[in-house]
């Protein structure tokens, strides 16, 4: 979750999965807005449109798309109404399962794998380019649920090259049952001078409903409870 210096620490969420956790959470919070980076024609830049009433805004970069981002008919992809209908229905997961079973070749998402830089690159260029730019301006990075597996080379390159170029980076926090191991893996991508100049904070815990009971106020700013 990098923070751009010129956005007064406004959080930006970069996700490498097809998860809908954020959309479901925002749908239940009328005081929080959610904006996407996506092509203008899709109408997904702000599917909730709460700019006038929202207390805060979360900017969302879904690198691989989402299993709910395709149209009802071939050739009709990613509509605001389609996404909102899925998120706000009584059983979103059941709706996704039904749509997935009948999906055709028009699914608008990138499968995980080493060729993700080539497959559907034209569709996701804006999202990936903005994610790289965000890492280049990152002040505090919090890694949740991503272990930097060896096969995900494209994401590794985007993150590490971006962080290495950031003149603002102060800390990297990892929340994971094996957080220290993940931190060592991240550190291995950088030289000694870089490693010594940053704060590395491991939380060897899961990120779940118990988080409010242990998370410190300054968690997302690279601070750990003393």
Q: Where do the domains of the chain lie? A: 17-62+67-108, 110-226
Q: Look at residue 125 in the predicted model and tell me its pLDDT.
A: 77
Bigger pLDDT: 50 vs 82: 50
- 5-28 b/e (C-beta count within 10 Å ≥ 16 → b): eeeeeebbbbbbebebeebeebbe
* 3-class state of residue 63 by DSSP: coil
Q: Look at residue 2 in the predicted model and tell me its pLDDT.
A: 44
Q: Is the pLDDT of residue 199 over 70?
A: yes
pLDDT digits (tens, 9 = 90+) for 70-116: 655 555 556 677 777 777 888 877 776 776 666 555 555 555 555 55
Q: Is the pLDDT of residue 226 over 50?
A: no
Q: Are 142 and 1 in contact (CB under 8 A)?
A: yes
Q: Look at residue 191 in the predicted model and tell me its pLDDT.
A: 94
Q: Look at residue 21 in the predicted model and tell me its pLDDT.
A: 80
User: Helices 80-88 and 92-101 meet at what angle, rounded to 10?
Assistant: 130
Strand partners, 14: 61
């Amino acid at each position: 979750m990098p923070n751009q210096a010129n956005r007064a620490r406004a959080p930006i969420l970069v996700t490498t999965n097809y998860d809908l956790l954020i959309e479901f959470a925002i749908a239940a919070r009328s005081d929080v807005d959610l904006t996407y980076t996506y092509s203008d024609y899709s109408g997904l830049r702000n599917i909730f449109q709460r700019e006038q009433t929202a207390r805060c805004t979360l900017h969302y970069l879904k690198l691989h798309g989402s299993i709910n981002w395709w149209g009802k008919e071939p050739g009709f992809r990613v509509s605001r109404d389609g996404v909102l209908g899925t998120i706000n229905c009584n059983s979103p997961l059941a709706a996704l399962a039904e749509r997935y079973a009948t999906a055709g070749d028009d699914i608008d998402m990138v499968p995980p794998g080493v060729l993700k830089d080539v497959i559907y690159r034209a569709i996701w260029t804006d999202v990936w380019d903005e994610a790289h730019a965000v890492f280049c301006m990152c002040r505090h990075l919090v890694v949740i649920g991503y272990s930097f597996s060896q096969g995900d080379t494209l994401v590794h390159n985007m993150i590490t090259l971006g962080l290495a170029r950031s003149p603002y980076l102060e800390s990297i926090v990892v929340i994971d049952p094996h957080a220290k191991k993940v931190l060592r893996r991240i550190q291995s991508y950088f030289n000694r001078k870089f490693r010594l100049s940053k704060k590395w904070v491991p939380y060897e815990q899961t990120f779940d409903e118990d988080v409010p009971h242990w998370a410190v106020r300054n968690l997302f700013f690279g601070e750990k409870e003393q």
